[in-house]
Structure 1
Amino acid sequence: MDQTCLQYSLTEEERKQFDETGYLILENALSPEHVSALTKEVDRIFDEHVNDGHDTTKALFHPNFIPDHPLFLDLVDYEKVLPKVWGILGWNIYLYHAHMIVTPPTGQEPSDKTFGWHQDSGRMNIEMETDPRPRMSLKVAYFLSDLSEAGRGNFWIVPNSHLKNTVQRPESGFGQLEGAIPVCVKPGTAVFFDRRLWHTASPNWSDITRKVLFYGYGYRWIRTKDDMTVQSLWDKSDPIRRQLLGAGTNCNGYYTPTDQDVPLREWLKEYAPSQVK
């Protein structure tokens, strides 16, 4: 990993915003050329699913996409993003979850039906006994489509809701949570969000297909959420990327890591010791 990535380290202002609101928007994280190249591969994968019978009026949820193309793999340790991830979570991290979502136009008229609001991680939210629940993980969403206007299948959030274990949903089944907003961003934007942030997908009422890549980072002792097949990429990866792809010396190394388990820690000790805790 090149030391130049440190210029993208998490700033104190960014840390404060993420801690207080539960999310952080990084505009122009990807160049137009990068967006175009990634979109080409997303379109290819979507077309393959359509050829296999996928309904083009429904969203495609495609997990385990990292092995599908080197461009996806390169985002695992992307220099503009990874320093902010370890700035929030620390160095004992890996990619535990990744999925691609393509949301074509529904062809339906807009409605105010309540969306599927949730916090990430399923049973974790039931079985953790603290209030608020622990952060544990975050996601980075790379937006490839122009979602600068609402109604395009936007990702909706409730800012500052990540410290609330419960929220009040409309009893009628219509209307959204109090304080809810659509995330309206341009192509190339990366959005970081705490797994506890109350959020939801929404229908795409526009004529634009929404395309997003989600990268979920968590602590190395958390199990993968997808049936990942990234192990085949370990031999071709440098030590830090191998860590991020889940490699380790043994099971105990996920809980009590050695230097070999967490080369990211050793790299930070050498080049950014102030970021090691």
Structure 2
Amino acid sequence: MDKSCLQYGLTEEERKTFDETGYLILENVLSEEHVAKLTEIVDGIYEEGVSNGHDPTKALFHPNFIPDHPEFLKLVDYEKVLPKVWGILGWNIYLYHCHLIVTPPTGQPKNYDKPFPWHQDSGRVNQEIESHPRPRLSLKVAYFLSDISEPDRGNFYIVPNSHLTDDIDIPTVGQIPGAIPVCVKPGTAVFFDRRLWHAASTNWSDITRKVLFYGYGYRWIKTKDDMTVQSLWDQCTPIQRQLLGDCVNANGYYTPTDADVPLRVWLREHAPEQSKGAATIDS
């Protein structure tokens, strides 16, 4: 990994924003050319899904997409994003979950009276871990490939500052007070804490919404989908291998050695202050 990536490290202002609101929006993370290339690949995946029987009026949820194309692998340790991820979570991380979503127009009339599917990520974690507030554990980075700079385009909705709230009142009619649509342009990356209350919405526009989601969490968390990224390890750099779940042995997820976490080794050399943190066991 080139040390030039350190110029994209998490700033104190970004840390404050993420800690206080539960999310962070960064524009122009992907160039127009990069967006076009990724869009072409995603369109191919969507068309294949439709040819295999997917209903073209419904959203395509496609997990485990990293093996589908080398361009997806490149984003796993993308220089403009990964430094901000380790700035929030630390170095003992990997990609525990990924999915892309293509949301075509439905042709349905607008209906804000029906509540959206509000949730925090991680399912049973939210019922079975005894703590308040719930632990962060992971975050997602969403790369937006289509223009959803206006509402009604299948935007994902969030309740800012809700990530430290374990329970939230979801009305039977209408939406949660304070909820807002995430309105962004192509090439934008949105980071959000897994605890942030959020929901998908219907695409009432004539624009197809396309998003890539990369979920980063601590290495001792199990994958959330049936990821087959092990087949890519031989073509990966050491840090990419860590981010795709490689490990010397099972104990290395809990008490990592240098061989388990080459990201920490790299940080010791190039950014020593970032190689420390809460998890400092070296053996």
Shared fold by TM > 0.5?
A: yes
Matched residue, 2:185: 186
CA RMSD of aligned residues (A): 0.4
1:176 equivalent in alignment to 2:175? yes
Matched residue, 1:163: 164
Counterparts in 2 of 1:5-24, with a 5 A limit?
Answer: 5-24=5-24
Amino acid at match of 1:226: D
Shift of 1:150: 0.1
Shift of 1:64: 0.3
CA distance in 2, matches of 1:174, 1:104: 25
Matched residue, 1:234: 233
CA distance in 2, matches of 1:233, 1:261: 17
CA distance in 2, matches of 1:102, 1:150: 16
Amino acid at match of 2:246: A
Residues 57-82 of structure 1 deviation map (CA, whole Å, 9 limit, x = unaligned): 00000000000000111000000000
Amino acid at match of 2:169: Q
Shift of 1:127: 0.2
- Per the normalisation by structure 2, the TM-score is 0.97
CA distance in 2, matches of 1:164, 1:210: 29
Question: Mind listing any 5+ residue stretches in structure 1 that lack a counterpart?
Answer: none
Matched residue, 2:97: 97
How many equivalent residue pairs? 275
Report the secondary structure of 2:46's partner residue. Answer: helix
Matched residue, 1:142: 143
Counterparts in 2 of 1:107-256, with a 5 A limit?
Answer: 107-112=107-112, 113-170=114-171, 173-256=172-255
Amino acid at match of 2:216: Y
Matched residue, 2:30: 30
CA distance in 1, matches of 2:189, 2:17: 15
Report the secondary structure of 1:13's partner residue. Answer: helix
Residues 196-237 of structure 1 deviation map (CA, whole Å, 9 limit, x = unaligned): 000000000000000000000000000000100000000110
Matched residue, 1:49: 49
CA distance in 1, matches of 2:175, 2:247: 43
CA distance in 1, matches of 2:9, 2:242: 19
Residues 182-209 of structure 1 deviation map (CA, whole Å, 9 limit, x = unaligned): 0000000000000000000000000000
Residues 153-205 of structure 1 deviation map (CA, whole Å, 9 limit, x = unaligned): 001000000000000111xx221112100000000000000000000000000
Question: Mind listing any 5+ residue stretches in structure 2 that lack a counterpart?
Answer: 277-283
Report the secondary structure of 1:101's partner residue. Answer: strand
CA distance in 1, matches of 2:140, 2:188: 13
Report the secondary structure of 2:268's partner residue. Answer: helix
Structure 1 runs (4+) greater than 2 angstroms displaced? none
Shift of 1:244: 0.2
Amino acid at match of 1:65: F
CA distance in 2, matches of 1:83, 1:142: 16
Amino acid at match of 1:35: V
Matched residue, 1:263: 262
Report the secondary structure of 1:96's partner residue. Answer: strand
Shift of 1:8: 0.1
Matched residue, 2:84: 84
- Per the normalisation by structure 1, the TM-score is 0.99
Amino acid at match of 1:249: V
CA distance in 2, matches of 1:222, 1:82: 18
Residues 3-49 of structure 1 deviation map (CA, whole Å, 9 limit, x = unaligned): 00000000000000000000000100000000000000000000000
